[in-house]
Amino acid sequence: MAPLLTVENLRIELTTRDGVAPVIDDLSLNLNAGETLSFVGESGCGKSMTALALMGLLPEKVGRVAAGKIIFDGEDLTQASPQRLREIRGNDISMIFQEPMTSLNPVFSVGEQIAEAIRAHQNLSRKAAWDKAVELLDAVRIPNPKGRAVDYPFQMSGGQRQRAMIAMALACEPKLLIADEPTTALDVTVQAQIFDLLTDLQKQSGAAIILITHDMGAVAEMARDVIVMYAGRKAEYGPVDAIIEHPRHPYTQGLISCVPHIVSDMSEERPDLVEVPGIVPSLKDFGRDECLFASRCAHRTEQCLAERPPEKPFAGGQLADCWHAEEL
């Protein structure tokens, strides 16, 4: 079976005041229906830009696909017309955002907005669309969905708004759901509910999910595969379990060990956290022919500064872009 989504050597360029910067540089991936892929990395690493590119929503005039293909369901989205992209958005690919308050329209009730989303893509009567909206609110576990459908966004809690957003994203039974930091603005107990909900919905509908996050814990809970992004490039790509077990890229190692996790064997003494010194380079340094992580890396050698590291394959389909991946 061909994967639902294939990205081949994608390069996205952003025009800035300092010139053209590749915010996504030579990215390839495969995603099958019913599976979850996660993008992880610090802010400014190109995670969200990938999502926008998949949606055909790159900022006009500023961003463009410079090379590569995005093949979704057998169709290359980089060649599709704006008309066709609009059709695909909402019908086949949906997105949920970090801040549900700003992505819902405050002057319409939640039910109306979901019904509107349904009617924009499906030929249903007003009444039928409303009934389906109530059904969807029920599916995302909003108690008393009939009564809550007439509520306005401000009358709902953050978790309920995010669930309403998910209901809206699911309105047209998308094949691919892109979730951009869907739980960052929410409390952990609510995050647990949302993750639980997403997993269940995925099982029922067979949709593929792309989860964009900065939290390795969330990746471990939710995803099968993970792409660690750094400065617009893939640092490491492969099955989550293998990568957490043995990260081959120093940035992945840093991301995992710099966060204090709750572990099963907690001890009285707490050693210092592993630091990843410095910060993500600025856009104008993207695209250089060197390892962009080198300035923050403890394993840096001459070679890292001389040439961009190649992709090195490891057992289980793990890929790491690091000159020293074998030694790590």
Partner 1 sequence: MTDLLNVENLTVRFEVKRGGAFGKKAHLYAVDDVSFTVKAGETLAIVGESGSGKTTAALAVARLQAAYAGRIELDGEDILPMEGEALRQVRQKVQFIFQDPYSSLNPRKRAEAIVQEPLDSLSDKPAAEKAEIVKGLFEAVGLRPEQMRLFPHQFSGGQRQRIGIARALATQPELIICDEPVSALDVAVQAQILNLLRKLQKDFGLTYLFISHDLGVVQHMSDSIAVMYMGKVVEHARRMDLFSNPRHPYTQALLSAVPTVDRAKRAAQKRILIPGDPPDPVNLPKGCRFANRCPVAQDKCRQDEPALLDDGKGHRVACHFS
Partner 2 sequence: MSDLMQEPIEQAQSPLAEAWGMFKRNHAAVAALGVLALIVLGAIFGPYIYPTDPFEMVWAPFSPPGQEGYLLGTDYLGRDLLAMIINGARVSLMIGLAAAVVSIFIGVTVGALAGFYRGWVEEVLMRITEFFQVLPTLLFSMVLVALFGASLPMITFAIGVVSWTAVARITRSEFLRIRELEYVKASRASGASNRKLMFGVILPNALPPIIVQSALMVGSAILFEAGLSFLGLTDPNVVSWGQIIGSNRQYILDAGYTVTIPGIAIFVTVLAISLVGDGLNDALNPKLRQR
Residue ranges in contact with partner 1 by CB under 8 A: 42-43, 141, 143, 157-160, 187-193, 195-196, 214-218, 220-222, 241, 244, 254-256, 258-264, 266, 268, 270, 272-277, 279-280
Q: Which is nearer to partner 1, 75 or 196 (CB)?
A: 196
Binding mask 50-89 for partner 2 (x = CB under 8 A): ----------------------------------------
Distance of CA 4 to the CA centre of its chain: 16
Please report how close the Cβ of residue 267 comes to partner 1 at its closest, in angstroms: 9
CB of 222 to partner 1, least distance (A): 8
Distance in angstroms (rounded) separating the CA atoms of residues 93 and 174: 5
What's the gap between Cα 238 and its chain centre?
Answer: 15
Q: Are the beta carbons of 250 and 293 closer than 8 angstroms? A: yes
Q: How far is the CB of 56 from partner 2 (least distance, A)?
A: 24
Q: Which of 255, 166, 245 is nearest to 213 (CA)?
A: 255
> Which CB atom, from 29 or from 49, has the smaller least distance to partner 2?
49
- The stretch among 49-57, 91-99, 242-250, 273-281 that binds partner 2 (CB under 8 A) is 273-281
Residue 309 has a CB neighbour count (10 Å cut-off) of 21
Distance CA 32, CA 212 (A): 17
Q: Per rule CB under 8 A, is residue 305 in the interface with partner 2?
A: no
Separation CA 57–CA 82 (nearest Å): 10
Write down the residue that tokens 């549900």 correspond to.
100
Please list the residues that pair with 67 across neighbouring strands.
Answer: 11
Pick the stretch among 168-176, 188-196, 218-226, 276-284 that binds partner 2 (CB under 8 A): 276-284
Calculate Rg over the CA atoms of the chain: 21
258 binds partner 2 (CB under 8 A): no
Residues that bind partner 2 (CB under 8 A): 17, 275, 277-279, 282, 295-296, 298
